[in-house]
Amino acid sequence: MKLTVAHSPDPDDAFMFYALTHGKIKSKYEIEETLSDIETLNKEAMNGRYHISAISYHALPYVIDKYDLMSVGSSVGDKYGPILISKKSLTNLEDKVIALPGELTTATLVFRIYSQGHKEVFVPFDQIMEKVINSEVDAGLLIHEGQLSYRNMGLKKIVDLGEWWYERYNLPLPLGGNIVHKSLKNERTSINNLLRESIKWGKAHPQEALNHAMKFGRDLNFEMNEKFVNMYVNDYTIKFQESLYNSLNILYKVAFEKSLIPSIPSIPEEILNE
């Protein structure tokens, strides 16, 4: 049976999927891998394009009719997350032009909960720092490895949304997860276990998996790449924990009350036991 698997070309996803997509673990499936940026994956999931896909949690309400959330593979910030940066200190974001990394990214959703009255422009995530440095925007919201490299460019942190979320709710910040097409309902347990095995293989063979992930760590040396992978391939990635479940439900409740999402997706509690 062929499975189409899509994830972003970033160190954490590359690390997670490496063993699965490179024949390091046994599988009854034939794996066809696609790499694409997360905003593209969010939009393609609306059309049900792939059997398994990484998505932003912001996108889940828009694809829950076609996909089920997997219990494995979540990217969660534990007191850290997307970082708003600028060339200078900003105490008020009203009317400021903010570069955001994609309309359906969770970073954008959480920022809209954090701030109102700002102006938004959407910029590919790997061009946001450049826009800030060139003063084309007042500030930019960084995801992926930019969270580690912005200081090297002399930029200032305005807020870390993961820190802000933890201070507000005493919970980690859910950013992204993996989904499996509803047509594969009978294969869900097998697929969950396979991805979990892939992540555990990477943890057991860090040098090889990290060397692969390095190919996708723009401007990161090995040590910084390892740090980034460990930030987002953590205990929440391997098992869907209660604090993640609670935080995700709060995220959707708050976003829905602010009319930022069309509905609150139902996440069954059984996901905690998978």
CATH of the domain at 200: 3.40.190.10
Same domain, 51 and 36: yes
164 and 117 assigned to the same domain? yes
Residues 62 and 87 placed together within one structural domain of the fold: no
Give the residue from 150, 169, 188 where a domain finishes.
169
184 with 259, same domain? yes
Cα separation of 166 and 240, whole Å? 18
Domain count, the chain: 2
Annotated binding site: 106-107
Task: Give residue 78's pLDDT band: very low, low, confident or very high (50, 70, 90).
Answer: very high
Handedness of CA 256, 262, 268, 273 (dihedral sign): negative
Residues 165 and 196 grouped into a single domain: no
* 42, 90: one domain: no
pLDDT of residue 120: 97
Rounded mean pLDDT, 74-91: 95
Q: Give the domain range for residue 66.
A: 2-76+174-273
Per-residue pLDDT of 54-64, as tens digits, reads: 999 999 999 99
- The CA radius of gyration of the chain, in Å to the nearest whole number, is 18
Task: Please tell me which residue in 144, 181, 205, 212 is annotated as part of the active site.
Answer: 144
User: Does 127 share its domain with 246?
Assistant: no
In a shared domain, residues 134 and 198: no
Q: Same structural domain for residues 160 and 192?
A: no
SS3 (DSSP) at 139: strand
Q: What percent of the chain has pLDDT over 90?
A: 89
The pTM assigned to this predicted structure is: 0.95
At residue 216 the predicted structure's pLDDT band, cuts being 50, 70 and 90, is: confident
Q: Domain ends where: 126, 145, 169?
A: 169
Q: What is the pLDDT of residues 148-178, one digit of tens each?
A: 778 878 899 999 999 999 999 999 999 999 9
Q: Is 181 a catalytic residue?
A: no
Q: What is the pLDDT of residue 221?
A: 84
190 with 248, same domain: the answer is yes
> What residues are designated binding site for substrate?
106-107
Q: Is the pLDDT of residue 251 over 90?
A: yes
The last residue of one of the domains, among 126, 148, 169, is 169
Confidence at residue 144, expressed as pLDDT on a 0 to 100 scale = 79
91 and 154 housed in the same domain: yes
Give me the pLDDT at residue 69, please.
Answer: 97
Quick one: which of 200, 222, 203, 227 has its CA closest to 211?
Answer: 222
| CA pair distance 58, 103, nearest whole angstrom | 9
Query: What integer pLDDT is reported at residue 154 of this predicted model?
Result: 86
